[in-house]
Every structure is written in structure tokens, then in C-alpha cells.
Amino acid sequence: MSNLFDLLVAGLATGAIYALVAVGFTLLWQTSQTINFAQGEFVMLPAFLMLAAMHAGAPFWLAIILGILLSMVLLGLAFKMLLVDPMMRHGVLPLAIATMALAIGIKEAVKQFFSAEASPFPSIVPTGDISILGHAVSLQSIGVLVLAILAVFGLTALLNRTSLGHQMQAAAQNPTVARIIGVPVERMILLTFLINAFLVALASLLITPIYLAKFSSGEVLGQAAFIAAIVGGFNQVRGAIAGGLLIGVLDNLAASYVSTQYRAAVPLIFLILVILFRPQGLLGRAEERTV
Amino acid sequence: MKSTLLAGALLAFAAATCAHAQAIKLADVAELSGGGATVGTNWKNGIDLAIEEINAKGGVLGRKLEVSHADSQSNPGVARAQVQKALDAEPYVLLGPGYSGSVKVTAPLAAEAGIAQIMGGEAAELTQGGNKFLFRTSFGQQSSMPKVAKYIHDEMKAKTVAVVWVNNDFGRGGRDVVIKELDRLGSKVIADLSTEAGQADFAADVGKIKAANPDAVFVYLNEEESARILKELKRQGVTAPLMGETTLIGQKVIDLAGDAANGARGHVGLTTDAPVDLIKAFREKFSKKYNYVPDHNGLKGYLAVYMVKATTEKMGKVDSKAFADTLHGLTIKAADEPGILMDVTFSETGDIDRQSFLVEVVEGKQVVKQVLPKVK
């Protein structure tokens, strides 16, 4: 029982990070029909930007701020202007393939500049245990979970409770009508790219102390988040959150109760079942777009 | 005048040919580029250092040593081609490669040519196929794991043990031997956990260890995964003592795992931190020549050349066909041949028996806690 509790906490902590990345998937899809196959590499890169800042002499807190800002410029602004905008007119598939090329490019560039070996990365959350319901739970797991949930709640509040959020939803649901009623659609789309960049930078900050900073670490994350987004519902932020948490927990339970060798297969089998029986995802709605 | 010139030229040619014939040719195939570049470069530099020393003292039986280096690119296919090319030049002894996978595919070629191969691979199976020409420079798993199991049973007093291993040839080989030995000694393996190479998340595996609550945990993974599991063990508050091999307590793992590596213990066959005067002297010479501190692969390359020297001097002649027979069963004492650094005995299978070290990570540094004697 104690083991199950530990597994659930660890699974939720990992799942919360998957959720952050998966939310980015859905945001980009909703506003610009971009399926970003470089999303995993987007999580890997900010850690290296922060490491570069630290190597240059910046303290950790400053490196975090610089890393997040640089990520928003590179993975938000530059990504949209230099890759998505020129490719969007050619359709969804060429754009998706362009993001695959981008993923390879980012990985190779990081390998070239930082080496193929893993590097350690400091943790923003202190190590140690706290007692919850008589169980010793690691502070790091709780910290990751809390930060990720705060980010997701913040985003949901932004989308549902503010004028800006309503404008973003309008731009996603019907850009033509949104333009007619005065919503700056282009600016709203750019904003979703910047939000995605912020989310992946945050995910990077939280996951890298556990996974280590390595050029290839985005592969696992990108795949897990993509599965989470589809399982939860590609057209719903709340679906991506639920999908992320579910995949995180499922992965940990499968590794523990099924077999470590087949742990990677279990979420994929679950994905196939969802596609077969509920193609819009667990919380998604067929033929509808909202953010 | 013409005839004098011709005679001079002939004399020079004869002298050159004679000098060439006198040199003993060694061939080295190593991982000089690709993923194993650190391994291969250390190995090569160790070889060059040993040859320079030996030649400076007059060579072996009055003949100089010469070595050709070829790059396997850390790729077994390329290693095979390079070894074939090296064997075509009929070397006295073949040195390398360092990767077990490359040794596995090249060993049959050297055996077919009847040339002794002194290599750096550590996988247990390499010397179990009856190859009469293959020799190790370091422990194979069948030599190191019994020492590990004995330490877990005798020194850690562990009645129950969790074994975590990586699911590849290296991990499975080590796991099989250590479980057999623990069983023989009476320590019960209560968790036998396989993990995947490149695995990032160890929460579930550590959860299982925590649930099993063993007296000790044996960790046998590659370096990066070792660092990740050390962090996760600390994160989940596992306090059982940790035991491993070089891959658990290497400097790279310590750098990656930080505080989480403190307290981890490991068995190390060769280390430049060993409290042995000859090894300290080697480390100093190597560092002075190459401007960096060698790892155990530098030691292996250095030892390989001194194995050639000691065996040849034992035979009293340079005979590549008799070399392997002579080295089987040979004990080389450091008192007689300081270049061999520590007393070593070669078995009939080409495995080695030598003293080794028990290392603990203390405040981010490897500290040799105990010298483990030769098995026999």
C-alpha cells in the first residue's frame, strides 16, 4: 500500500510535467494547426540555455530567468516567424515534417556545442522528505507537482477568466469572426506560441534535475506528451492535463506491476484503445475547437 | 666514384632493413573516435608511454618495440576490418580493442591467424568460448562479481539483497554471476530488477526496492543510468547501503549524481587512485606526458605492452606462435617487472587474477577503503 502511494505521487509528479508539455501541443494545434514534433526538444533546450548562462557566470536564479526569456524568444517568437508562418500556407503535413527536421537540428546542435554526454542540472526544489498521511514523500516530487499544477491553473484562469483569454479562444474557434469583432488574431496566435515556450521552459526546469541534461532527453518526453495530448483530447486544454497525469501514473504503475521491459508499451496500448473507442480523446469533443 | 656511391646506398639499405627486421611489431586497434574515444585514447596513450619507456631502456631482448595504431571508430564492423588489415601485416601481438562488442567480432580473426590478442573488454563471455589466443588486461565479470558478492555478504553483512541491472549483454552477464555467488554465500536476492539502457525515470524501480526493504542494493547499470538511479534512491529516501562496480562510482557518475553518490561503494579492478606506489608513479608519468589524469583504460594499455615484454623475456625469444602458450598460467611479479604494476596471474582461459580495490564515494571523491587480495 505504501508502495502504491509512492508510485502514485511519483507518477503524478512526472505526469504533471507531461501535462505541461501536452498543453503546449494542444495550444499550438488550436491556434495554428501546428503539430509540433519538436516539442520534446523544446523541453530539452531550455535546460542547456540555463546551463550556458551558468557557465557564463550567472547565478542559478538569473540563469532560470535568462533561460525562460531566451526560450520565449527562440522557441516562441523565432519558431513562429521563421518556421511556422512560412510553412503554414503549405498545409498541416509539410509543417509537421518541418518540425521533425527542427527536432533533429536542435538535437544535433546541442550535441555539437555541449557534447553527447549528460550533464548534471541543479534542482529548484530542495531534497528531503515530508510526511503526508504517515507516508514519507519526497519534497522534490511534491514541489514538481505543485509548480506544474500552479502553472496549469494559472493558464486555465488566464484562458477562462480574462478578456485576453476570451480573445485567444475566439481567435482559435473562428479567426474570421474574431477579426471582424476586433480581436487581434495574429497577436493572439503569437501569444499562444510564447505561452507554449514558457510552459516547456518550466517543464525543462522541473524535469532536467531528474532526467539529467542530455541532447536526447526530449525524445521520451515529446512522445509521452504527444500520447498524453491524444489520450486526453487534442482539442482541450483540460484533456491534455488529464492525459498527462494519467500517462504519468500509468507508466509508473505499469513499470511496477506489469514489467519494466513493457512499461513503454502500456501507454501505447492505451493510446490505441482510446483511438479505437474514443478517437476525440477522453475529454475531447468531436469537431470542436476551443482553447 | 659511382661504385662507392652504390656500395654506400646498399649499405644504408641493408642497415635500414636490418633495423626494421629487429624491431618487434605490435598492432593496436582501438576506439580512437566515436562514442568510445575516451576509452581508446587512454588505451593508446598507455601503450605509447610503455613503448617509449621500454625502448629507452634498450627494448625487449635487445630489440625495439614498434606499434601501429588503427581506429575502430567504436564500431564493431570497422574494428573487424581494421583487425583483419592489422593481421595481414603479421604483427607479433595484437592489442585491443577496448569495447567487448568489438572484441567479440575480432577475436576469431586473431585466433585463426594464431596471433595473441591482448584486449580491454570485460564481458564475461569473451573468455568462455575456448579461444586460446585472447587475454584480458582487467577483470572479467566472472572474476570481479565473486569479489563483489563476498563483500556484500561478509563486510556489509547483508542477508537480503536487491539487484538492479541493465538489460543488455553487459548487465545480464554481471547479474547472472553475482546472483549465483550471492546464492552460494547465503545472501538472499529478494528483488531482481531489470532496467532498460537509456532509461530516464527510475521512480518505479526504486519504489520496488523500497518495498522489498533489502539489507543492501547492488546496482549494475551504465554510468548515466547509475547517476539517475542514485538520485532517485536519495529522492525516495532509500537508506540501504549501495554496492556496485566501476560504473557506479566512476568520476562521471559522481559529477552527474552530486550528493546522491556519497556513500555508494564499488569494486574497482584498476584505478589510478590506488594506494600502490608503482601506480602512483605511472599516474605521474602519464599526467606529465599527456597533461591529463588517465582513467583505468590508460592503465590497461600500459599493462598490455608490459605483458608482451614479460612474456617474451620469459620465453627468451620472439615467437608469436609460442606467445599465447607461455602467457597461459604465467604469474608476473611487480618485483621482477615493475611495469606490470601489481602481481598478476593469467589463467588458462586468458582471465586475470590480481588484487583489486574497494572504493567508497566520500564527499564527491573516490576513496580507496580496502585492498581486496587475489582470489588464488
Q: Is the pLDDT of residue A201 over 80?
A: yes
Contact state of B237 with A11 under an 8 Å Cβ cutoff: no
Contact state of B35 with A116 under an 8 Å Cβ cutoff: yes
Q: How confident is the model over A44-89, as pLDDT tens digits? A: 999 999 999 999 999 999 999 999 999 999 999 999 999 999 998 8
Nearest residue in chain B measured CA to CA from A253:
B204
Provide CB contacts within 8 A for A172, sequence distance 6+: A30, A31, A188, A192, A289, A290, A291
Inter-chain Cβ pairs, chain A and chain B, closer than 8 A: 87
Q: Give me the residue from B200, B204, B231 closest to A7, CB to CB.
A: B204
Write out chain B's pLDDT in tens, 376 residues. Answer: 455 555 555 555 444 444 445 899 999 999 987 767 778 999 999 999 999 999 999 999 999 999 999 999 888 999 999 999 999 999 999 999 998 889 999 999 999 999 999 999 888 889 988 999 999 999 888 888 998 999 999 999 999 999 999 987 778 889 999 999 999 999 999 999 999 877 888 988 998 898 899 999 999 998 889 999 999 998 888 999 999 998 899 878 898 898 999 999 999 988 888 889 999 999 999 999 999 888 889 999 999 999 999 999 999 999 998 999 999 999 999 999 999 999 999 999 999 999 999 999 999 988 999 988 887 7
Contact state of A260 with B232 under an 8 Å Cβ cutoff: no
Q: Give me the residue from B228, B235, B259 closest to A212, CB to CB.
A: B228
Contact state of A212 with B236 under an 8 Å Cβ cutoff: no
In this structure, the strands spanning B265-268 and B356-362 are antiparallel
Q: Is the peptide bond before B97 cis (omega within 30 degrees of 0)?
A: yes
What is the CA angle B242-B246-B248, rounded to 5? 40
B35 to chain A: which residues are within 8 Å by CB? 116
Nearest-Cα distance to chain B for A11, in Å, is: 8
Alpha carbons A204 and A45: distance in angstroms, whole number: 8
Superfamily name with CATH number, domain B2-139+275-342 = Response regulator (3.40.50.2300)
* Per-residue three-class SS string for chain B: CHHHHHHHHHHHHHHHHHHHHHCEEEEEEECCCCCCHHHHHHHHHHHHHHHHHHHHCCCECCECEEEEEEECCCCHHHHHHHHHHHHHCCCCEEECCCCHHHHHHHHHHHHHHCCCEEECCCCHHHHCCCCCCEEECCCCHHHHHHHHHHHHHHHCCCCEEEEEEECCHHHHHHHHHHHHHHHHHCCEEEEEEEECCCCCCCHHHHHHHHHHCCCEEEEECCHHHHHHHHHHHHHCCCCCCEEECHHHHCHHHHHHHHHHHCCCEEEECCCCCCCCHHHHHHHHHHHHHHCCCCCHHHHHHHHHHHHHHHHHHHHCCCCHHHHHHHHCCCEECCCCCHHHCCCEEECCCCCEEECEEEEEEECCEEEEEEEECCCC
Nearest residue in chain B measured CA to CA from A129:
B237
Phi-psi region of B364 (alpha: psi -120 to 50; beta: other; left: phi over 0): left
Q: Give me the residue from B196, B207, B228 closest to A3, CB to CB.
A: B207
A47 to chain B: which residues are within 8 Å by CB? none
Put simply, whether B37 touches A (Cβ < 8 Å) is no
Residues of chain B with CATH 3.40.50.2300: 2-139+275-342, 142-268+357-372
Contact state of A251 with B35 under an 8 Å Cβ cutoff: no
A263 CB-contact burial (10 Å; exposed 0-12 / middle 13-18 / buried 19+): buried
What's residue B16's pLDDT?
47
Put simply, whether A263 touches B (Cβ < 8 Å) is yes
Contact state of B224 with A211 under an 8 Å Cβ cutoff: no
Alpha carbons B57 and B50: distance in angstroms, whole number: 11
Put simply, whether A131 touches B (Cβ < 8 Å) is no
In the beta sheet, which residues pair with residue B70? B29
Put simply, whether A11 touches B (Cβ < 8 Å) is yes
Q: Is the pLDDT of residue A289 over 60?
A: no
What's residue B19's pLDDT?
45
Contact B86, B68 (CB under 8 A): yes
Contact state of A3 with B211 under an 8 Å Cβ cutoff: yes
Contact state of A138 with B196 under an 8 Å Cβ cutoff: no
Nearest residue in chain B measured CA to CA from A9:
B203
pTM over 0.90: no
> What single-letter DSSP state applies at residue A212?
-
Q: How confident is the model over A158-178, as pLDDT tens digits? A: 988 999 999 998 888 888 899
Interface test with B, best of A219, A249, A260, A263 (most B CBs within 10 A): A260
Enter the ipTM: 0.77
What's residue A86's pLDDT?
93
Nearest residue in chain B measured CA to CA from A128:
B235
Give chain A's length.
291
Q: How confident is the model over A125-161, as pLDDT tens digits? A: 887 778 777 777 778 888 888 988 899 889 989 988 9
Superfamily name with CATH number, domain B142-268+357-372 = Response regulator (3.40.50.2300)
Contact A222, A40 (CB under 8 A): yes
What's residue B246's pLDDT?
86
Q: How confident is the model over A86-99, as pLDDT tens digits? A: 998 898 899 999 99
Contact A155, A24 (CB under 8 A): no
